[in-house]
Amino acid sequence: MAADLNTLKQDLTRRMDGAIDTLKREFNGLRTGRAHPGLLEPVRVSAYGSEMPLNQVGSIGAPEPRMLTVQVWDKSMIGAVEKAIRDSGLGLNPAADGMVVRVPIPQLTTDRRNELVKTAHKYAEGTRVAVRGVRRDGMEQIKAQEKKHTIGEDVAKTWSDEVQKLTDQYIKKIDETLAEKEKDIKQV
């Protein structure tokens, strides 16, 4: 029986880890006033007849605290890269300089910082919902096994408590990650 609990916990842990990883990727896309190559990761460029991630048409760097650069590999893509960054909704204004697209990172206003904090809270809440969904699936699996009489009522209660403890750990992890990001955004 314990092996089944371990298998269940491994599956739920894997799925909850996936939700946390997604949250961290979303947080990387939130601008904090300092240049970070992860800021441009969600940008997609129309290149060669399809939409491609920016990092597949050039290399992204952060040579200064307030500047990102994209070293474009194909000169014909420079205009498309500039347009993709400008249209990304990140509030950035890129400028081409030979084979390099320079992206200055403007100082964040207080209103913009507050907006970013609200967005971070929205991402965190979405992740909490995902983790609770994983918990619900785990609880349903336990109830199904109890209903088929493959586990007893006591075992089902113990397993449910374990699933709840795991969920609480992940909710705490989400809250800590959010607090860290919020501090990062509000830092001037």
Domains of the chain: 2-28+109-186 (1.10.132.20), 37-104 (3.30.1360.40)
Which of 40-54, 60-74, 146-160, 166-180 is predicted most confidently? 166-180
Q: Which carries the bigger pLDDT value, residue 74 or residue 30?
A: 74
CA distance 18 to 41: 18
User: Taking residues 73-83, what's their average pLDDT?
Assistant: 87
DSSP at 159: H
User: Taking residues 94-119, what's their average pLDDT?
Assistant: 84
DSSP at 150: S
Instruction: Look at residue 31 in the predicted model and tell me its pLDDT.
Output: 64
pLDDT digits (tens, 9 = 90+) for 121-131: 999 999 999 99
Amino acid in the structure at residue 166 = L
User: Taking residues 157-185, what's their average pLDDT?
Assistant: 93
Instruction: Look at residue 2 in the predicted model and tell me its pLDDT.
Output: 47
Instruction: Look at residue 1 in the predicted model and tell me its pLDDT.
Output: 44
Instruction: Look at residue 33 in the predicted model and tell me its pLDDT.
Output: 63
Q: If DSSP states are collapsed to H, E and C, what string results for 80-122?
A: HHHHHHHCCCCCCCCEEECCEEEEECCCCCHHHHHHHHHHHHH
